[in-house]
Amino acid sequence: MPFKMEEIFVRLDKVRVSIKNPFQIPVTLFAREDVDIGFEAVNQLLEFISLEKTLQQLGKDFWGDNVGQIKEVILTPDFHKGAGIPVGTVVNAQGFVIPQAIGNDICCGMRLLVTDLKKEEFLANQKPLEKQLRAIFFEGKRQLPLSSRQREALLKEGLWGLQETFSDNANVGLWSYYDPIEQAKDLSFVHFQGVLPTQTAFTFDDFIKSANNTAGYDSQIGSIGGGNHFVEIQTIEELLDGATSHSWGITSDQITIMVHSGSVGLGHLVGGHFRDRAKEIFPSRITHPEYGFYPLPTDGKEKQLTINYLNAMRCAANFAFANRLFLGLMIIRAFSEVLGRKVASKLIYDAPHNLIWENEPASNCYLHRKGACPAIGAEPEINSPFRYTGHPVIIPGSMGDASYLLAGQGSSQSLTSACHGAGRSLARGEARIIDQTTYQSTISKLKVVTPIDPNAPEVRLRPDILAKYHDRLKEEAPYAYKPINPIVETIEEASIARRVARLSPLMTIKG
C-alpha cells in the first residue's frame, strides 16, 4: 500500500510517534528523531493491521459471542522488517491469537550471567578458550545426554522439570556443571520461573522416545541457532546505576555471558503446523486475508485448536528456557576446563522476546511480543528479587557494539515492553554485498568463533567454504545493525527502562 511517511507519522513528543492507519488502531512507535525507521518495516506493519478488516467480516460462527479485534500496537525503537510481522512489534489482541505475530522461534530470549572471571584472566587465555569453545559448541564435545523422562519433563515443566529429573544424568558430561541447589535459586531470576506448564508434549513423542532411556543425545538442545542468535563473552565496562548494580551483584571488569537463542527446530514445527491449521479453519465464504495472516479464535467452535496451539507454544517455550541454560553452562565448562578451576557464575536474568502472554481471563486479551521483551517495574508488594529495582532488561548491540543492562520501569504507555536489540539497518542480502574494504576493516576488530575455523589448513585451501564463512559474517557484521546508543537512549527517555551497566564484547560465538 503506497504511502508517504510524513502523511502517516504524527510525532507526539521527542520519543513517541503515532502511526495513522485506516482502522483507527492505536499504533505508537517509540523512537527519537535520530533512530532510523525503514519504509519496508512500516509497510509490513500496515499489511499486518489490515487484518482488522478481515476480523470484522467473520461472524459468530467463527468467533462465538465476541468478535476479535486488535486493541493496540506498540513498536520498539529497534523496529525493522522481519518474517511475518516486523521485529519490535507488540500486539494486544482481544479474542484471538496469531502464530505469525510471534514467529517460529518461539520464546527466543536473552540470558545474562556474571562470572568470577576478570577481564585480564580471560584475555590471557583467549587462544585455548577459542579452541575449547569451538570443540564444545561445534565439534561434538557437547556431552549433554537427556533421558526420556528428562525430555518429557523439560517440554511439560521447563526448568522445574529439569530440577525434578536431573539425577537421571547427574555428573555425566555437561550435567556435572548443573548444580541443582544453585539452579533452584536461579528460578527466581527467570521470567515465569522458566516454566509454562502444559499437560501435553504436542507431537514431540519421537524427541522423547529417541533418548534410549538415559543416554540419548540430541542435535537441538544446546544449539545456538542461526541468524542473529549468539552466545557472547563480554565484560562490564561501566556501571551506570551504582545502587542497582550492587543489588544485582554486578561489578566492573567482570566477565559476563550473554545468550541469545530460542526453541530452534521445535518452535518452527509448532509455528508452521498451526499456521496451516489456522488457514484450514478459515471460512470459505470470506475472502482470505490479503497478506496471509490467519487468526485462531479463543472462543467459539474452534476454541480447542487455539488451546492446542498455546499448549504447543508452551512446550517450545520450555525447551527454549532449557536451551539457554545449557548454552550458558557450556561456556562455564569451557572456562573451567581451560583455567583448571571451577568458574563460578550468577544468573542476572532470563526473559523471552517472542511469545504470547495471556492476560486476565476476563479481558480475553493476548499480548503478542515479537522481538520485544517485558520491562517490568518495581513491585514492592510482590516477593521478588527485583521488587525494589524493576526487572532486568537485556539489550544487546551488534558484535562490535556495546550491550546494555537496564532495569524495567513498568511503562503502561509501552505495554511494559522494551526492545531486544539494536535492530537491523541492512537486510542480509544487502549486507552480503558491502564493499570488501569496509568488511575487512570491520571484521578484523572482532573475535568470532563459528563452526568453521578460517585458519585451519584444510579450510584455507577451500575458497568455496571460506566464501560461505565470510557471507555469514557479512550478514551479522556491525554495519548491518543500527547504532545501539540512540536505541537505548529512547528506551531511557521514554521511562521504559533505565540503564544500569554497559557491557563490551570480547568474543562472540555464532552458529
DSSP track, 387-431: TTT--EEEE---TTS-EEEEEE---TTTTTEEESS--BSS-HHHH
Residue 420's alpha-carbon distances to 78, 214, 320, 364, 375, in angstroms, are 8, 36, 16, 26, 10
Looking at 80, 191, 420, 470, which residue is catalytic? 420
Answer for the pair 331, 256: CB distance below 8 angstroms, yes or no.
no
Task: Return the ∠ at Cα 142 (arms to 234 and 343), rounded to 5°.
Answer: 45
Sequence-ordered alpha helix ranges (H) in 214-356: 242-248, 264-281, 303-339
- Residues near 176 by beta carbon (within 8 Å), at least 6 away in sequence: none
**Residue closest to 259 by CA, chosen among 324, 201, 321, 345:** 324
Burial class (CB in 10 A: 0-12, 13-18, 19+), 33: exposed
Q: Is 420 a catalytic residue?
A: yes
What is the Cα–Cα distance from 418 to 395, expressed in whole angstroms? 9
For the chain, the straight-line distance linking the first and the last C-alpha, in angstroms and rounded, comes to 37
Residue with the three cell numbers 461472524: 59
E strand intervals along 440-496: 448-449
User: Which residues participate in catalysis according to the annotation?
Assistant: 420
